[in-house]
């Protein structure tokens, strides 16, 4: 007997923050579990998540996901108060937290959320240590991308 996969995405991806690669230099990658309420898990299964302006903050030695929006379902329970913009606690090891605290406070890094996905039955959040890009850095990236595309075209035509 085979199991049926009820999720829409076969690879387990729930939401992506594509803007992060354009706005920041992404360096180290971290993965954390997330503490959710029941209505939030149901909304996540329906794909009602927005990570576009989300980031991770560290308060009192704990990491929190801030700015992620999980929209409640229309048929949510009447006795539960749904706050789509609440900050959610991230589950990390102490050594990871101490490393993140040191880098964000001393070296002025930002923790930018890039993805939310399923890992078996758990919801995981991927975030990166990041430094902001200046406008000229963004223009350089666009120029490099255009040049690589043009180079591929020239190579394709030269083979004929």
77: pLDDT strictly greater than 70: no
Between CA 111 and CA 30 the distance in angstroms is: 9
User: What pLDDT band is residue 76 in, cutting at 50, 70 and 90?
Assistant: low
**114, 126 in Cβ contact below 8 A?**
yes
Average pLDDT, rounded, for the chain: 83
**129, 34 in Cβ contact below 8 A?**
no
Is the model more confident about 1 or about 55?
Answer: 55
| Predicted pLDDT at 102 | 87
Question: The domain 13-133 is classified under which CATH number: 2.40.50.150, 3.30.310.50, 2.40.280.10, 3.40.50.40?
Answer: 2.40.280.10
pTM score, two decimals? 0.73
Domain boundaries, the chain: 13-133
């Amino acid at each position: 007997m085979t199991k049926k996969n009820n999720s829409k995405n076969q690879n387990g991806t729930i939401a992506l923050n594509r803007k992060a690669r354009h706005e920041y230099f992404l360096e180290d990658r971290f993965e954390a579990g997330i503490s959710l309420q029941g209505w939030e898990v149901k909304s996540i299964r329906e794909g009602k998540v927005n990570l576009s302006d989300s980031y991770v903050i560290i308060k009192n030695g704990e990491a929190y996901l801030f700015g992620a929006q999980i929209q409640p379902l229309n048929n949510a329970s009447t006795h539960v108060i749904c706050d789509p913009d609440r900050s959610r606690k991230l589950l990390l090891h102490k050594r990871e937290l101490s490393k993140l605290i040191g880098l964000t406070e001393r070296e002025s890094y930002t923790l930018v959320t890039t993805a939310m996905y399923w890992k078996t039955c758990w919801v995981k959040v991927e975030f990166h240590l990041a430094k902001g890009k200046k406008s000229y850095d963004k223009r350089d990236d666009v120029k490099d991308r255009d040049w690589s595309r043009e180079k591929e075209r020239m190579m394709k035509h030269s083979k004929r």
